[in-house]
Amino acid sequence: MKRLAVFLIPLLAALPAAAQLYQPGEVLEYRVSYKAKLFPNTEVGSVEVATSCGTHDGRPVYRVDARGRTLPTYRWFFDLDDRYTVCVDTAAMRPIHFSSDIKEGDYTFWSRYDYDWDRYEAATTWQSRRNPEQSKRIALTDASLDAISLFFRMRSADPDSFRAGESEVLEMVLQDTVRRIRYRFEGREQKKIRNMGKYRTLRFACQLGTTENFSFTDGTEFTIWISDDENKIPLYLESPVRVGSVQAYISGYRGLRYPVSSLIR
């Protein structure tokens, strides 16, 4: 759950820095399941991503709130409640603020990023339960974004520009550093989603890299399927873990800007 909550949203990201698809009133709901050799495929958590209008320091923004939560049945075993918020300037279409509040069992962690795009820097502050507050200024490029902002970048891309087998790299701001995500478009395919139907999708394989280079931490690939329509909804994600695998799949959506034309039946 922890690994998926951290990487579900950024691994849905993609390409150009064109105007991104922020639609106030949009809500995307996901279910998270775990499967292992001696353990059946069982739903253990949920993730919700909601977009609204708001203000931050007097500036009009799109506000995106994401929350990952263990289902009630499993909270006695592992109580996870992770919240992420990003504020995006409606004129520049760039994030100006990001915050996270993570509670996972006895572990707590919060972080805050304030972007300064005039200087191409981010002022980051973070603190965990057992450590004092820390802060740092990080140099940015146009490709450097927090996890939530990366989630929306792909949704502005033109699917016809993708070429199967081609790899690209994104940069994700994390606390005191920038991590690289390499992704590869693997082509179009139909994907059946539990309780939702069959969709035409764009399939991507992603890897999270170290801060120094593109040598990935453990070689693990995460696979993501995105709706092949104007909304580009992340529909399904599958990630191997130490034992078994974790899946996240769409369980509901509302307030979308465009019809879900990728739904076959």
Higher-confidence residue of 3 and 245: namely 245
Side chain identity, residue 19: A
CB 234 within 8 A of CB 168: no
Can you tell me the distance from the alpha carbon of 139 to that of 98, in angstroms, rounded to the nearest whole number? 16
* CA pseudo-torsion sign 34, 231, 83, 99: positive
DSSP-derived pairing of the beta strands 59-70 and 121-128: unpaired
Please report, for the domain that includes residue 48, its CATH number: 2.40.360
pLDDT band per the 50, 70, 90 thresholds, residue 54: very high
Q: Closest Cα partner for 7 from 106, 147, 209, 175?
A: 147
* CA pseudo-torsion sign 193, 196, 202, 208: negative
Can you tell me the distance from the alpha carbon of 43 to that of 40, in angstroms, rounded to the nearest whole number? 10
Can you tell me the distance from the alpha carbon of 56 to that of 113, in angstroms, rounded to the nearest whole number? 13
Has residue 177 been placed in a domain? yes
Q: Which of 76-90, 142-156, 222-236 has the lowest mean pLDDT?
A: 142-156
Higher-confidence residue of 262 and 113: namely 262
- What is the model's pLDDT at position 237? 86
- Mean pLDDT along residues 128-143: 84
The domain containing residue 160 runs over which residues? 2-83+143-254
Can you tell me the distance from the alpha carbon of 88 to that of 127, in angstroms, rounded to the nearest whole number? 23
Compute the C-alpha angle 202/206/211, nearest 5°: 150
- What is the model's pLDDT at position 1? 44
Residues counted in the chain:
265
Side chain identity, residue 179: R
Has residue 150 been placed in a domain? yes
- Looking up tokens 């969709």, which residue turns up? 199
Domain count, the chain: 1
Q: Locate 225 and state its tokens.
A: 């399927």
Return all residues near 201 (Cβ < 8 A) that are at least 6 apart: 188, 189, 190, 191, 225, 226, 227, 228, 235, 236, 262
Has residue 172 been placed in a domain? yes
DSSP-derived pairing of the beta strands 144-145 and 167-174: parallel
pLDDT at 183 over 80: no
Measured CA to CA in angstroms, residue 212 lies from 177, 180, 189, 223 at distances of 10, 9, 34, 24
Has residue 23 been placed in a domain? yes
Has residue 214 been placed in a domain? yes
pLDDT at 6 over 70: no
Has residue 262 been placed in a domain? no
- Looking up tokens 């209008």, which residue turns up? 53
Has residue 124 been placed in a domain? no
Return all residues near 133 (Cβ < 8 A) that are at least 6 apart: 125, 126, 127
Has residue 151 been placed in a domain? yes
Q: What is the pLDDT of residues 251-262, one digit of tens each?
A: 999 999 889 999
Compute the C-alpha angle 50/120/167, nearest 5°: 65
Buried b (16+ CB within 10 A) or exposed e, 105-118: eeeebbbbbbbeee
Can you tell me the distance from the alpha carbon of 159 to that of 163, in angstroms, rounded to the nearest whole number? 9
pLDDT band per the 50, 70, 90 thresholds, residue 104: confident
